[in-house]
Amino acid sequence: MKKGARLKLPNHFVAPLHSIGFSIGNKKIQSEDILIPADFCTFDNADNLLVIEDSCNPPHFHRLYPVLVETINSLENTQNFPMEINALKMDGKKDTWRGFELKNRGKNCVLLQGMFITREKTNFKQQLPERALQPGDTMRFVFSQNNVNQVNNPDDILIDEKNFGKLDFPDKLLLTDKNNNYVVLYDSCNLRNNSGNCLIM
């Protein structure tokens, strides 16, 4: 696209400490992203940057730098796998919510495609939404029964505790792809007991 080309952005609400996501191409990385045509910018050199300008006279300019998104759709090779269980909370009164978080501990933005959270010894299987996670971001899974915090977090993924199965026997939480390859996210002596001798991968 020639230098100085403009694309009007739609009105967009941004909550405090949140960000606006721009997806380049024909598919949004996250549902709330603003889609920019692929032919509008290519990021093929250091000088090819996006700039946001306002309608003031003179306008104010803000440069945007591209964020690399690492798409993971297979778990055949899991060396340096960036995801882990960040917390396993089972006491809704003590922790204000019950469930667990999947955290991106890598350095890149990660998009998981066709992935499921499963348990090794039960038939529990919960598909993950295709949601890009920045480094340090978490995807939270909460149990739907007696969870006082569930209505306050629209991005939470609700889990039916009956389908999840009993918590009082040794089990593992796995991340599984569509070909049944998996990585162990949480190897627990007891999913109800979050003690120091239970291993978080």
Q: What value does the mean pLDDT of the chain take?
A: 79
CATH of the domain at 136: 2.60.40.1260
pLDDT for residue 46: 56
- Same domain, yes or no: 147 and 103: yes
- Same domain, yes or no: 61 and 77: no
- Same domain, yes or no: 101 and 141: yes
pLDDT tens-digit series, residues 55-80 = 888 888 887 777 778 889 999 987 88
Of 66, 84, 99, the position where a domain reaches its end is 66
Most confident of 5-9, 51-55, 138-142: 138-142
DSSP 139-199: EEEEESTT-TTGGG-TT-EEE-HHHH--SSS-EEEEEE-TTS-EEEEEEES-TT---TTSE
Range 15-44 average pLDDT: 78
- Same domain, yes or no: 176 and 79: yes
- Same domain, yes or no: 61 and 118: no
Q: How many domains does the chain have?
A: 2
Does residue 7 form part of some domain?
Answer: no
- Same domain, yes or no: 84 and 121: yes
pLDDT for residue 181: 93
pLDDT for residue 117: 93
- Same domain, yes or no: 121 and 55: no
Q: What is the CA radius of gyration of the chain?
A: 20
- Conformational region of residue 31, where left means phi above 0, alpha means psi within -120 to 50, and beta covers everything else: alpha
In this predicted structure, the answer to whether residue 8 has a pLDDT above a threshold of 70 is: yes
Does residue 16 form part of some domain?
Answer: no
CA angle 5, 7, 8 (to 5 degrees): 140
Does residue 5 form part of some domain?
Answer: no
Range of the domain at 39: 22-66
Which carries the bigger pLDDT value, residue 74 or residue 186?
Answer: 74
**The pairing of beta strand 83-89 with beta strand 99-104:** antiparallel
- Same domain, yes or no: 111 and 193: yes
- Same domain, yes or no: 81 and 32: no
